[in-house]
Amino acid sequence: MKRVIVGLSGGVDSSVAAYLLKEQGYEVIGLFMKNWHDDSVTISNECPWLEDSNDAMLVAEKLGIPFQVVDLSEQYKDRIVDYMFREYKLGRTPNPDVLCNREIKFDVFMKIALDLGADYVATGHYCRKSEIDKDGELVYRLLTGKDVNKDQSYFLCQLSQAQLAKSLFPIGELTKPEVRKIAAELDLVTADKKDSQGLCFIGKVRLPDFLQQKLKPKEGIIVDIPKDSLLYKRELPNFHNKEEELEFLSKKVIYSKDNGKIMGKHQGAHYFTKGQRKGLAVGGTIEPLFVVETDVNENVIYTGEGKNHPGLYRYVLFVNNDEIHWVRNDLTLQEGEEMKVQARIRYRQALESATLYKTKKGLYVAFENQQSAITEGQFVAWYQEDELLGSGVIS
């Protein structure tokens, strides 16, 4: 009998995943990952992980499977929290959920599971896996979940073939309502539990509060850039080749304080991210202000009025060579090659038509339509039909 270790998070998705595996005849063990107990950075007065681990335990009892809690908070701090502070300090916007899957659930946690003699690790992600034979090699495919509204393949965009080989996604063929229905029929305590928000399984975290504890507030100015600024009327030079054009189009606009007018003050550019609207506390404009750029060195935030402001939009983004990741190694692009794909630059975004161009320097992703708030540090993931082929960190 094959042994599967399920990451029971105390939510409805992983609860139903565990049930389905048991029904399929696996030997199932539930493990709850505890990822936080650093009192130097408090998260909130409530203690959501206690409540969650308790729910996970009740589910395991109900399903009649063994259960234990594993403390991964040290690795979580090293690999996720410290990385987040580092990225924010550099003025980038990290995606802890993607990292958390790559570094914690499918790495640290997976190693623990395999040491416990597991054949597989399973999670409650809405995605699917299949395998194909390619030139005599077994190749794993990461596919979108059946529930289009809940598809979570994006969060797994950094997984490797080795990680996929050992992973199972039992609820990938179901929709959220179907999952809730199964949980209700089984009378599981998690059946009506709201979906977790906040930092990848640390619980209810407000990011600014969290950041403020390590990144000290520092007053700076907010500069508003007019829509008709000459910065957006750049003459297109004559390009000698495609790469020159891509490089030009992927470059962001460089702003200075005298490009616009001072609208107010902020408490630290590193708390803000491109495309952000909340938290600026500036009134008196016809349309709301959006952050179009942050400058952490000068501690200035540049804003634009309205969500169609030209400062928010670009066609092309760039990924450095060392930050390109192929889930499908066999499809890796070589220098000079290109590929038509569908891509997204954030979770929940509809897939957009794009072309990948591999150059000596790295990978350009050129979209057919302009994309709003392309943000450094976030992940771009590319697909063909319902398969996620690879991803990269936006540079």
Reply yes or no on whether 127 is catalytic: no
C-alpha triplet 284, 288, 291: angle, nearest 5°: 115
Cα 341 to chain center, whole Å? 19
DSSP structural state of residue 40: T
CA 9 – CA 30 distance, rounded (Å): 9
Distance CA(291)–CA(22), nearest Å, equals 48
The helix/strand/coil state of 368 is: strand
Q: So what's the pLDDT on residue 201?
A: 44
The span from the CA of 238 to the CA of 254, in Å, is: 21
Q: Which residues contact 265 (CB under 8 A, 6 or more apart)?
A: 219, 220, 221, 222
Annotated active-site residue 47? The verdict is: no
Q: What residues are paired with 143 via a beta bridge?
A: 128, 387
Report the run of H or E that residue 381 belongs to, with start and end. strand 379-384
Cβ neighbors of 50 (< 8 A, separation 6 or more) are: none
**DSSP strand pairing (220-224 vs 362-372):** unpaired
Phi, psi for 216 (deg, rounded to 5):
-70, 140
Selecting among 47, 127, 157, 200, the annotated active-site residue is 200
Catalytic residue among 47, 100, 127, 157: 100
pLDDT value of position 268: 93
Q: Could you tell me which CATH class the domain 3-212 is placed in? A: alpha beta
Residue 343 corresponds to which tokens in the numbers above?
């891509």
Q: Is 349 helix (H, G, I), strand (E, B) or coil?
A: coil
Residues contacting 74, CB < 8 A, separation 6+: none
pLDDT, position 89: 87
**Strand pairing report for 3-7 and 27-34:** parallel
The DSSP element (H or E) to which 137 belongs, if any, is: strand 137-144
Residue type, 297: N
CATH code of domain 313-393: 2.40.30.10
Residue 344, beta-bridge partner list: 381
DSSP state of 34: E
The alpha carbon dihedral of 46, 47, 52, 57 has a sign of: negative
Q: What are the residue ranges spanned by the domains of the chain?
A: 3-212, 220-312, 313-393
The reply to whether the predicted model has a pTM over 0.85 is yes
Q: Amino acid letter at 326?
A: W
For every one of its 395 residues, what pLDDT tens digit does the chain have, with 9 covering 90 and above?
999 999 999 999 999 999 999 999 999 999 999 887 655 555 555 566 788 899 999 999 999 999 999 999 899 989 988 888 899 888 899 998 899 999 999 999 999 999 999 999 999 999 999 999 999 999 999 999 999 999 999 999 999 999 999 999 999 999 999 999 999 999 999 999 888 755 554 555 566 677 777 888 899 999 999 999 999 998 899 999 999 999 999 999 999 999 999 999 999 999 899 999 988 988 889 999 999 999 999 999 999 999 999 999 999 999 999 999 999 999 999 999 999 999 999 998 999 999 999 999 999 999 999 999 999 999 999 999 999 999 999 99
Secondary structure of residue 311 in the 3-state scheme: helix
